[in-house]
Amino acid sequence: MSKLVIKNNINSELAITHVDNKPAKSIVGSDITVAVDTINDFPLDASDGDTVIVRDLNRGGTFIYDSSKVAEHNDGTNFNGWIRQYSGAVNVKWFGAKSITIPEYSTYDSTQAIQKAIDSFSSYGTIKIPSGKFLVTDTLNITNKSITFMGDGISSSTIMFNPANNRVLLNFIREKGEQKINAIKNITLKTAIQSCGTAVKIETSLTSSNEQVNGAIDTLLLNNVLITQEDNGYWTKFIHTVNNGGVHLLNVQMKNSIPDAQNDVNTIGIHVERTDSRVHIIRTLSITDFYIQRVYNAFKFHSNDYHGIESFYVSTGEVVGANTGILVDKYVEAVHLDGIHFDIISNVIDWSNGVMNLARFDGCDFRKGDNGSSLVYGPMFLVGRGEDISFTGCIFSGFNDSHSDSTNIAFKFLTSSAGSRVTRFDVAGCTFRNLYGVYGDLGASGVRAQSNLYAAIEDSVSVEVVPDTHLSLFDANVSKTFTVHLNGSVDEQIDVPVSPFFKSAYASAVLIPASQGLSSGTIVYYHFTDSTNTNCRFIVHGNSNSGTFRFSFMASGDSTYDTHS
Each residue's pLDDT tens digit, 290-337 = 999 999 999 999 998 888 899 999 999 999 999 999 999 999 999 999
Q: What is the DSSP string of 514-544?
A: -SSSS-TT-EEEE-TTT--SSEEEEEEE---
232 or 2: which leads in pLDDT: 232
Q: Would the pLDDT of 448 be above 80?
A: no
208/518 Cα distance (integer angstroms): 72
Residues 127/148, Cβ–Cβ less than 8 Å = yes
Q: Which amino acid is at 327?
A: L
Q: Is the pLDDT of residue 113 over 70?
A: yes
| Cβ neighbours, 10 Å, residue 418 | 8
Q: How confident is the model at residue 425 (pLDDT cuts 50, 70, 90)?
A: confident
Q: What is the pLDDT of residue 164?
A: 93
Q: What angle do CA 226, 361, 382 make, to 5 degrees?
A: 95
Report d(CA 310, CA 104) in Å as an integer. Answer: 50
Listed residue (543, 553, 494) closest to 520, CA to CA? 543
pLDDT at 31 over 60: no
Tell me which H or E stretch contains 118: helix 111-119
Query: For residue 86, what pLDDT band results from cuts at 50, 70 and 90?
Result: very high
From 212, 201, 149, 209, select the one nearest 178 (Cα to Cα). Answer: 212
Confidence (pTM): 0.78
Q: What is the pLDDT of residue 525?
A: 65
The b-or-e profile of 5-35 (16+ CB within 10 A means b, else e) is: eeebeeeeebebeebeeeebeebeebebbbb
Averaging pLDDT over each range in 220-229, 297-306, 437-446, 496-505, which range is the top one? 220-229
φ/ψ of residue 64, rounded to 5: -120, 140
Q: What is the DSSP string of 127-139?
A: EEE-SEEEEE-SP
Q: Provide the 3-class DSSP secondary structure of residue 94.
A: helix
490 vs 305, higher pLDDT: 305
pLDDT in tens, 124-166: 999 999 999 999 999 999 999 999 999 999 999 999 999 999 9
- Beta carbons within 8 Å of 75's beta carbon, 6+ residues apart: 95, 96, 116
pLDDT band (50, 70, 90) for residue 398? confident
Where does the pLDDT of residue 449 fall: very low under 50, low under 70, confident under 90, or very high at 90 and above?
confident
Residue 421: what pLDDT? Answer: 72
Query: Residue 350 CA to chain centroid, in angstroms?
Result: 15
Give me the pLDDT at residue 213, please: 84
Check residue 526 and give its pLDDT: 65
Considering Cα of 307, then 311, then 316, then 317, what sign does the dihedral take?
negative
Task: Give the residue with greater pLDDT, 368 vs 236.
Answer: 236
> Which among 464, 480, 473 has a CA at the least distance from the CA of 502?
473
Contact, 220 vs 189, CB < 8 A? no
pLDDT of residue 491: 67
- The one-letter amino acid code at 393 reads G
First-to-final CA distance of the chain? 89
Segment 93-98 shows an average pLDDT of 97
The yes-or-no verdict on residue 89 having pLDDT over 60 is yes
For residue 341, what pLDDT is reported? 97
Is the pLDDT confidence value at 26 over 80?
no
The share of the chain scoring above pLDDT 70, in percent, equals 72
Nearest-angstrom CA–CA distance, 104 and 109: 12
Query: pLDDT band for position 119 (50/70/90)?
Result: very high
Query: Is 32's pLDDT higher than 50?
Result: yes
Average the pLDDT over 330-359 and give the result: 94
Confidence band, pLDDT 50/70/90 cuts, at residue 488: low
- Residue 408's beta-bridge partner residues? none
pLDDT at 487: 54
Q: What is the pLDDT of residues 525-561, one digit of tens each?
A: 666 667 776 677 777 666 554 444 445 554 443 333 2
Model pLDDT, residue 369: 80
Residue 397 φ then ψ, to 5°:
-120, 120
Contact in structure between 552 and 515 (CB atoms under 8 Å): no
pLDDT number for residue 556: 41
> 244: phi > 0 → left, psi -120 to 50 → alpha, else beta; which?
beta
Cβ–Cβ < 8 Å for 194, 166: no
pLDDT at 485 over 90: no
Chain Cα centroid distance, residue 253 = 10
d(CA 300, CA 363): 22
pLDDT at 489: 56
Identify which of 347, 193, 342, 322 has the alpha carbon closest to the alpha carbon of residue 264.
Answer: 322
pLDDT tier at 522, thresholds 50, 70, 90 = low
Of the chain, the percentage scoring pLDDT greater than 90 comes to: 54
> What's the confidence (pLDDT) of residue 500?
47
Q: To the nearest whole number, what is the mean pLDDT of the chain? A: 80
Give me the helices (H) in 243-327, please: 259-263
Task: Tell me what the mean pLDDT of segment 233-248 comes to.
Answer: 96
Residue 107 has pLDDT above 80, yes or no: yes
Instruction: With cut-offs at 50, 70 and 90, classify the pLDDT of residue 468.
Output: very low
| SS3 at position 263 | helix
Q: Please give the pLDDT value at position 534.
A: 66
80: confidence class by pLDDT, cuts 50, 70, 90:
very high
CA distance 357 to 128: 42
Phi and psi (nearest 5°) for 533?
Answer: -65, -25
Higher pLDDT, 264 or 398: 264
The pLDDT of residue 459: 58
- The Cα–Cα gap between 370 and 376 comes to 8
